[in-house]
Amino acid sequence: MLADTMEQFFQYDERDFGRRRTLDEVTGKPESMAFPRAPQYVRTKDFFRTAPVMKQSVETLFELNKRYEVFIVSAATEFPQSLFEKHQWLGEHFPFITWQQMVFCGLKTIVEADIMIDDHFKNLDPFKGYTILFSQPHNLLQPDNRHKRVHGWSDIADILL
């Protein structure tokens, strides 16, 4: 939840279709349904490299990184070109995150930790620790009774800092 991939989808989609989709149009839909060309965008060079940074993520993660053992776990192996791009992107925007803290995987079930912040139920549901659901249009209609829903990094700061 460091990269604002959703905003990147909005922008690529607007470029292709001439108008920005409304939040209502994409709410509750997986990205591949909300944005017809999403499957192409995620395979496009620089899609991940140029993704906007999520608001307040830099300062919040900077503080979290002092108090917690932080790992950045990113689903990346489905799109191999994204591996290098995500590594470079992290280096540019989060230079305090070291290579030791990066994990690029397919399934996040392999990861063991105490707290997981994610926007997908498929990642949070099997996780054994404390789970924080990062609100995104695609997960807005799903019940969040099993996970703590947050609406941005300032909420995460309130909980964890």
Instruction: Note the residues at the interface with a second copy (CB under 8 A).
Output: 71, 73, 76-78, 80-81, 83-84, 87-88, 98-107, 110-113
Nearest distance from C-beta of residue 142 to a second copy, angstroms? 22
Residue 74 vs residues 13, 14, 30, 101, 144: alpha-carbon distances, Å: 23, 26, 18, 11, 22
Ramachandran region of residue 5, left (φ > 0), alpha (ψ -120 to 50) or beta?
alpha
Nearest distance from C-beta of residue 136 to a second copy, angstroms? 22
Nearest CB to a second copy, comparing residues 23 and 107: 107
**Three-state secondary structure call for residue 92:** helix
**Three-state secondary structure call for residue 86:** helix
For 130, the token pair is 């404390």
Nearest CB to a second copy, comparing residues 36 and 129: 129
C-alpha 28: how far from its chain's center?
Answer: 16
Nearest CB to a second copy, comparing residues 37 and 87: 87
130 CB contacts (<8 Å, ≥6 apart)?
114, 115, 116, 148
Nearest distance from C-beta of residue 10 to a second copy, angstroms? 26
Nearest distance from C-beta of residue 104 to a second copy, angstroms? 4
Nearest CB to a second copy, comparing residues 24 and 112: 112
Nearest CB to a second copy, comparing residues 26 and 75: 75
Nearest distance from C-beta of residue 100 to a second copy, angstroms? 4
